Chain A
Amino acid sequence: MTVNPVQSNGGASGPYVRIDGVTKRFGDFEAVSHVSLDIAQGEIFCLLGGSGCGKTTLLRILAGFETPSAGSIFIDGVDVTAVPPYERPVNMMFQSYALFPHMTVAQNVAFGLRQDGVSKAAAAERVNEMLAMVQLEGYEGRKPHQLSGGQRQRVALARALVKRPKLLLLDEPLGALDKKLRERTQFELVKLQERLGVTFVIVTHDQEEAMTLASRIGVMRSGEILQVGSPTDIYEFPNSRYVADFIGSVNLFDGQLVVDEPDHCRIACAGLGVDIFVDHGVSAAPGAKVSVALRPEKIRLARERPEQRENVVMGSVSGIAYLGDSTRFLVLLEGGTQLQVTRPNFDRHDEHLEDNEVVWACWDAGSPIVVSR
């Protein structure tokens, strides 16, 4: 099979896609506000956010369906802000797949090539190649409504990749598939991307999907990008209360900074009963009101009081959810705060904590994340 990686024609040092101060207004509503973003070649970049956060509008601006109210878009060093969609080196896979219902699978995939004046024979050859790539040989003559959801998704992917775009935009690419199929397709998608070297920009509201697919994630909220980073960065070092809360589950405590030294800090949390001790400074104003995020899997539970002096609290088990691979506990602290704790089930014959049992919860000084409120 001959699938050539996309070649850059200059600007190898600069970012591949540059979104520069882009704002999009619909009447009084600002869907995207002052977004600047650089995406490198060969990257899988995920725009992650809830509905109405502006992620789809940003994707449509990249595709050329919307013109930004301010700012510009550069692809491979070329300003494409005013270039219509049919002249951009960009293809898109739509959320609804948008397969042409009156055309066969082969005609759908060949559509892009035929627009470029590729001969019928050459197009047919390339179509076969693409259908082989997405494992849909023998389906050339089918109409879209004769396909299952997973097959339609693969036709849409083949159609979007047939012109060897430099940049592929995917709008909720796996949103319409059931869970099992989605998990399998996620890995197929990543493998395909690695082989072709195409830059992917994916829009999704599903954080798990973003974590699996992305090399970098941009978390969006009300038109702004809150944080850009690798999945690990986003999960372990969220820069705001919103990001910490949006990605995964988290325990959030509001408190006040009482000690802030270069090598440690201490936060007084009324709801927790004890101070939270963190093994690094935050260089904030003394007495600053901050939030502390603590991931449930970073908390340990024990019947006996642990030896460590800091970051230990006592409470009683108020809820147990057995999830198979792990168990989720709710611990009611003396101060009235609920603590979420996840414990992996290493051992089948683990000692089981009972409801209402008194337990000690503790965590390392490196685990809490201090974010501004």
Chain B
Amino acid sequence: MKSRLSPFVLSMLIFGFAFLYLPIFSMIVYSFNASRMVTVWDSVHSPTLAWYLELFGNDEILEAAQLSFRIAAVSATGAVILATLAAFALVRYRRFRWRGLFGVLTTAPMVLPEVITGLSLLLLFVALEQWTGWPPGRGAATITIAHVTFCMAYAIVVIQARLATVDRSLEEAAMDLGARPWKVFMVITLPLILPAIASAWMLSFILSWDDIVITSFVSGPGSTTLPQLVFSKVRLGVSPDINALATILVGLVSVCVAVAGAVMMRTERRRLRDAQIATGAH
């Protein structure tokens, strides 16, 4: 049965989507604007790719993007490794002392104000440098460490949820057949939680990629990430090349979401088909 949308529901729908996407849409349109004034549409020379070309000629932006990418990739990887270990301990060893406290402590950074996390990390790095001489000043290394700490909290939640659904007897069966605990983890547990690890990695990557508050506490001269650069440029007045940069980022994210969606749909279809074969095999 097909139900018709009432005018009210339809208008709410349009309004809702407009509210969400109109700003982004107008930004995309203005990124092709020839005028240097962001708010004035130059109908004579538009549309133009001038700002995009300028963007690729801007070493400052390219360097910042590269740095952000490197930091996001490294800290996502580090966060996921630590989160997997922590989630394994929390899910598989249920009987150790203070388990509840550990569980809360690992995820607390999610609700801690970023300003506090950033400030405390800055104090720690400064103190460490005074006592041990490491880290030498603030830069990419300290930003990465800081990102690992808060990304880890999110990654634990994702991986823990998946690990809890993995049947313990699968690991026992592998052990029973002669696999040592480490081998069991590598060939049984890890493949089964891999989808969660992948999504935890992507989540961590995005979190690290667009973080600005914590980053600004622990970054130093010569290590400006992309969000920091955008922020500082905007403070001096919005220039049209920022629109172009933002459009590229939106495009990238859209492609990623589309690819992830397509992969997920294919897996789901395959699962359904297999289930049909299974029932047919009776």
Nearest-CB distance from A286 to chain B (Å)? 53
Instruction: Indicate with 1 or 0, residue by residue over A141-180, a CB within 8 angstroms of chain B CB atoms.
Output: 0010111100100000001000100000000000000000
Question: Is A102 positioned at the interface, with any CB of B under 8 Å from its CB?
Answer: yes
| Interface pair A101/B278, CB less than 8 Å apart | no
| Interface pair B169/A86, CB less than 8 Å apart | no
Q: How distant is the Cα of A87 from the Cα of B282 in the complex, in angstroms? A: 37
| Interface pair B183/A115, CB less than 8 Å apart | yes
Question: Is A71 positioned at the interface, with any CB of B under 8 Å from its CB?
Answer: no
Question: Is B260 positioned at the interface, with any CB of A under 8 Å from its CB?
Answer: no
Can you offer 17 A-B residue contacts whose CB atoms are under 8 A? A64-B176, A85-B175, A86-B175, A86-B178, A91-B176, A92-B172, A92-B173, A92-B176, A94-B172, A94-B173, A100-B188, A101-B192, A111-B174, A112-B178, A115-B177, A115-B183, A143-B274
Nearest-CB distance from B188 to chain A (Å)? 6
Question: Quick one: which of B259-282 are within 8 Å of A by CB?
Answer: 271, 274-275, 277-278, 281-282
Instruction: Indicate with 1 or 0, residue by residue over B245-269, a CB within 8 angstroms of chain A CB atoms.
Output: 0000000000000000000000000
| Interface pair B275/A116, CB less than 8 Å apart | no
What class of interface size applies to chain B in its complex with A?
Answer: 20 to 34
What class of interface size applies to chain A in its complex with B?
Answer: 20 to 34
Question: Quick one: which of B121-163 are within 8 Å of A by CB?
Answer: none
For A144, the closest partner residue in chain B by CB is B278
Nearest-CB distance from B60 to chain A (Å)? 46
Q: How distant is the Cα of A90 from the Cα of B281 in the complex, in angstroms? A: 32
Which B residues are within 8 Å of any A CB, using their own CB?
167, 169-170, 172-180, 183, 188, 191-192, 271, 274-275, 277-278, 281-282
Nearest-CB distance from A143 to chain B (Å)? 7
Q: How distant is the Cα of A65 from the Cα of B173 in the complex, in angstroms? A: 10
Query: Other CB < 8 Å A-B pairs besides A91-B177, A111-B179, A151-B281, 7 of them?
Result: A63-B176, A86-B175, A86-B179, A94-B173, A98-B173, A112-B178, A159-B173
| Interface pair A163/B177, CB less than 8 Å apart | yes
Q: How distant is the Cα of A143 from the Cα of B271 in the complex, in angstroms? A: 11
Chain A residues with CB below 8 A from B275, complex form: 145
Q: How distant is the Cα of A159 from the Cα of B173 in the complex, in angstroms? A: 10
Nearest-CB distance from A32 to chain B (Å)? 18
Chain B residues with CB below 8 A from A102, complex form: 191-192
| Interface pair B278/A145, CB less than 8 Å apart | yes
| Interface pair B167/A146, CB less than 8 Å apart | no
| Interface pair B174/A146, CB less than 8 Å apart | no
Select B281's contact among A86, A101, A146, beta carbons within 8 Å: A146
Chain B residues with CB below 8 A from A148, complex form: 278, 281-282
Question: Is A96 positioned at the interface, with any CB of B under 8 Å from its CB?
Answer: yes
Select B274's contact among A111, A116, A145, beta carbons within 8 Å: A145
For B178, the closest partner residue in chain A by CB is A115
Chain B residues with CB below 8 A from A94, complex form: 169, 172-173
Q: How distant is the Cα of A145 from the Cα of B167 in the complex, in angstroms? A: 15
For B183, the closest partner residue in chain A by CB is A115
Nearest-CB distance from A28 to chain B (Å)? 14
For B169, the closest partner residue in chain A by CB is A98
Which A residues are within 8 Å of any B CB, using their own CB?
63-65, 84-87, 90-92, 94-96, 98, 100-102, 111-112, 115-116, 143, 145-148, 151, 159, 163
Q: How distant is the Cα of A86 from the Cα of B179 in the complex, in angstroms? A: 6
| Interface pair B172/A100, CB less than 8 Å apart | no
Q: How distant is the Cα of A145 from the Cα of B279 in the complex, in angstroms? A: 10
For A148, the closest partner residue in chain B by CB is B282
| Interface pair A111/B281, CB less than 8 Å apart | no
| Interface pair A146/B179, CB less than 8 Å apart | no
Chain A residues with CB below 8 A from B188, complex form: 100
Nearest-CB distance from A58 to chain B (Å)? 16
Chain A residues with CB below 8 A from B278, complex form: 145-148
Chain A residues with CB below 8 A from B281, complex form: 146-148, 151
For A95, the closest partner residue in chain B by CB is B169
| Interface pair B177/A112, CB less than 8 Å apart | yes
Nearest-CB distance from A9 to chain B (Å)? 19
Q: How distant is the Cα of A84 from the Cα of B180 in the complex, in angstroms? A: 9
Nearest-CB distance from B11 to chain A (Å)? 46
Assuming the contacts A96-B167, A143-B274, asked whether A115 and B176 have C-beta atoms less than 8 A apart, the reply is no
Q: How distant is the Cα of A1 from the Cα of B231 in the complex, in angstroms? A: 75
Chain A residues with CB below 8 A from B175, complex form: 65, 84-86
Assuming the contacts A101-B192, A102-B192, asked whether A146 and B177 have C-beta atoms less than 8 A apart, the reply is no
For A110, the closest partner residue in chain B by CB is B177
Q: How distant is the Cα of A163 from the Cα of B178 in the complex, in angstroms? A: 10
| Interface pair B176/A86, CB less than 8 Å apart | yes
Chain B residues with CB below 8 A from A91, complex form: 176-177
| Interface pair A96/B176, CB less than 8 Å apart | no
Nearest-CB distance from A261 to chain B (Å)? 55
Q: How distant is the Cα of A92 from the Cα of B175 in the complex, in angstroms? A: 10
Assuming the contacts A145-B278, A147-B278, A148-B281, asked whether A85 and B176 have C-beta atoms less than 8 A apart, the reply is yes
Chain B residues with CB below 8 A from A64, complex form: 176
Assuming the contacts A143-B274, A147-B281, A151-B281, asked whether A100 and B180 have C-beta atoms less than 8 A apart, the reply is no
For A169, the closest partner residue in chain B by CB is B176
Chain B residues with CB below 8 A from A112, complex form: 177-178
For B166, the closest partner residue in chain A by CB is A101
Nearest-CB distance from A138 to chain B (Å)? 11
Chain A residues with CB below 8 A from B271, complex form: 145
Chain B residues with CB below 8 A from A100, complex form: 170, 173-174, 188
For B276, the closest partner residue in chain A by CB is A146
Assuming the contacts A145-B274, A146-B274, asked whether A65 and B178 have C-beta atoms less than 8 A apart, the reply is no
